[in-house]
Structures are given as C-alpha cells and as structure tokens.
Structure 1
C-alpha cells in the first residue's frame, strides 16, 4: 500500500474586496436582524391600524351618549314639572281658580265684568 498522501487543499481564489464583486456572496447575504425589525415595525403599524376604527367608534359612541344623557336630564326635569302641575291641578281650589280665569261661573252666579281698572 502506498503511503497516504496528505489531504489536498482546495485551490485558493484571489480575494477581491466585496465592493469589487457585482453579486458576490457578501452582497447576497440576508441581514436577518434588519428583516426582523422591519417585520416587527410592519406588524406594529398593522395593529395600530386595526385599533383606529374601534377608537373612532368609541369616541362617536361616547359623544352620542353624552348628548342622550343631556336629553334624558332635560326630559326628567320636564317630567318633574308636569308631575307637579298634575298634582296641583287635582286641588279643587286650583280648578276653580283656573276656571274663573277662563271666564266660567258657577251655576246660579251672576257674572260681572269690571273694566277700566288701572294696571298694577
């Protein structure tokens, strides 16, 4: 058996600077850290974009809620005033006063019209 020859080394290529190669191995290398950052930035922008419409809807609903609350407060005040007026109109003295203001008289009474009085 002949003696084992040492392993052959591959032939060395001339080393050129990366700028000298148009599409060399250095130019084709993928910078995964940059790709990851860009992907995360795009994901963040997508998430923010997804929150825009619900946020606008929330603000619009909040404004409508405030308007409806004001309307409800106004209607409650009106209801309280009408309830008080209804209670007032159930009193017989108030009924008589309102009827006389309208010019009504009781049966058997003689109506009088007084004119020429000074205004107070």
Structure 2
C-alpha cells in the first residue's frame, strides 16, 4: 500500500525498493505490434505527453514557427490595407483634379458672360465685325495696309548680305548652315 513517502533505499543490496501495490503490472507489447481497435493509455505524468520546458508556447509551435506565422499575418494585413488605401489616394487626387477643373471652367464661364455683355452693344459689335472680319458699310472703300514683319526684314537683310559674299563663302555657309 502506498503511503506517499519517497522510495526507501534497501541497505542490504543498495537497490531502490519502492512500496509495491497489489495490482499486477500491465503486460508490455513489442513496438511493432498495434491493434486497430486497442487504445493505449498513458499515465498523466509520463514524459511522452509533456513538451520540453521553453518550447511549444501558444498552439504548441516553436518560436521560429510562431515568428513565421506572425510575419504571414502582418503581410496579409498589410496587403488587405494597401488596396483600399491605394484606391482612397487615387480618388482623392482625382477629386482634387476635378475641383481644379471646375474652378477653371467657372472662371471661363464668367469671362464668356462678360464678353457676351460687351457684344450685346450694337456699336461694339459693329467695331468687332469691321476689325476682325473686314466688313464695310455699303459705299465705303476698304484699304488694307500690310507692314512687313520683323522676320521678313531679317531674311531680306541676310539675302543682301549673302549676295555680297564670294561664291566659295556662300557654298561653305550652305554646308555649315550659317546661310539660313
């Protein structure tokens, strides 16, 4: 009968002698044998059911596996946040562009309304038609005076200058592009 005391050392032969119970010990099977219907019961304190100290933790995972699972969770969260964030930023930029365009169009509408008010005056309308379209009243003789532009003056001066140069200088200028 067990009393709860630790095993006592037998002084005669030096072996540990534990108090024994009257129940017979279960028969052991070889490791290769296994019955499909039989279940093996282990004692609660056996070393096979306990994990070593310092390993296992939450969900019985090693620290490396826990770190990998944590990294995967962080990546999944980042990916799930990135798509809506990208959509939000895109829509915010698009909204700013539309507001800018609306402001620009409202200014243009205001300018055109002012222009419409100007052209509602018949004298202003007649002056615009004479100036831009070249309209004249019956019996008037139109005169068009065209002044030479600055570009035409420069090209005429270059032509005169090139005529005074010798032929070989003009030929060289056509290769170098200075005569243009």
The TM-score normalised by the length of structure 2 is: 0.42
1:115 & 1:24 partners in 2: Cα distance?
Answer: 111
What residue ranges of structure 1 are gaps of 5+ in the alignment? 1-5, 13-22
2:110 & 2:58 partners in 1: Cα distance?
Answer: 71
Partner of 2:105: 75
From the superposition, tell whether residues 26 and 105 of structure 1 become closer, same or farther in structure 2 (CA, over 3 Å): closer
From the superposition, tell whether residues 34 and 55 of structure 1 become closer, same or farther in structure 2 (CA, over 3 Å): farther
1:114 & 1:49 partners in 2: Cα distance?
Answer: 72
1:41 & 1:34 partners in 2: Cα distance?
Answer: 15
Partner of 2:2: 7
Partner of 2:57: 31
The TM-score normalised by the length of structure 1 is: 0.58
Partner of 2:13: none
Partner of 1:15: none
Q: What are the residue-to-residue correspondences of 1:22-101 with 2, within 5 Å?
A: 25-27=50-52, 30-32=56-58, 38=66, 41=70, 45=74, 46-101=76-131
Partner of 1:20: none
2:112 & 2:52 partners in 1: Cα distance?
Answer: 85
Count the aligned residue pairs: 102
Deviation at 1:76, TM superposition (A): 1.8
Deviation at 1:55, TM superposition (A): 0.4
1:114 & 1:106 partners in 2: Cα distance?
Answer: 15
